[in-house]
Structures are given as C-alpha cells and as structure tokens.
Structure 1
C-alpha cells in the first residue's frame, strides 16, 4: 500500500497558509460486504475490495489536483465524531476534523 502514504498540502486561504494532513485508512481499499480476504486491523474487521483498491491508486493524484475545488460539508456520526465530507464529482472523501496550535493544521 505504498501509494497510500500520508502527506501534507498547504493552501493560502484568506491571506493565511493552512496545511492539511492527509492520511488513509482501511476504507480506501476494503468494505464490509464479505466478498474478499478478511483483514483485521486495530479492532476493525473488513474485507479487501479490488474495486476500492483500484480507485485508491488514483486517490493521491486526485487529491493533489482537485482537493481545493471541492465543497466540504460537516458530517456527524451517531457517536459524535465529526468529519467533513468532500464531494468531488463521483468521489466522496470523509476525513476527521482536528485542529492544532502553530502551525495551524486541519
């Protein structure tokens, strides 16, 4: 899964530089349908999905070229976790939201 290594991108927003850290989880190449090889990781049980894996090979380039064009919408789960959903045409990216003190990172 070398193509899913974490990386940072910096954006100038309202005369301030904002750095966004991108990390990838199991959901990029697994699902819960039970059709592939079972993977146990950090308490999760998910199944390898070749279709998601194929899409994941394009994910980094997709983010680098189109991330700033998307519209981020707040998304909340039942257990009060806060995410942002970034819809870019036919692809949705869900990411947890966290802020840190200097440098400002989301």
Structure 2
C-alpha cells in the first residue's frame, strides 16, 4: 500500500508535477489529485493503484513500508541509485503522433 504522503514525496524526489505523474502511470490528472488528497493510505481501484506503483518503481522510486528495513522503521520513499530522469517524452510523442494521425484522417 502507498500513502498520499509517499506519493507526494515520490513526485518531489522525481521533480515532476501531477500531470507528469499521470502520464507516467497512464492515469488521469484528477485520479492523481484524488489519490494525493486521500487521508492516509491511497484509495482507488486495484488497476489504478498497480499502475501508480509500477510507474513509481520504473522511475526509480522505492516505497518503504512499515516493518521494512529502515533507520526509524516508518513509511517513506527513497530514490534508487543511478536512476535517470523518467521518460515522459516517449509518452507525449505517442499521444501527439496518434492525435496528428486522427487530424489527418479527418
């Protein structure tokens, strides 16, 4: 499980905004906003939560849950070493290409 605080902290470590997080996770911006507005553990459908956690892990974020080896034992996030910036251009280029193709088809 991921908390709203972990999600916000992960975005801060990646230096991305909610729109970019939505693109990485293939979710909508309102979904990310609702997740971050949650009190405590993020609530959402299983598919959305899996997309979110997967996107964070692929971007180099390691979620620290209670009971996991940590200096203080609490929840948190950390950035894995040797991680590059998340690849947002690929997602944007795919969306642009498909929207341009639709415009040409009209």
Pair in the same fold by TM > 0.5: no
Q: TM-score, normalised by structure 2?
A: 0.27
More strand by share: 1
More helix by share: 2
Q: TM-score, normalised by structure 1?
A: 0.27
Q: Which has the higher contact order (CA 8 A, sep 6+)?
A: 2
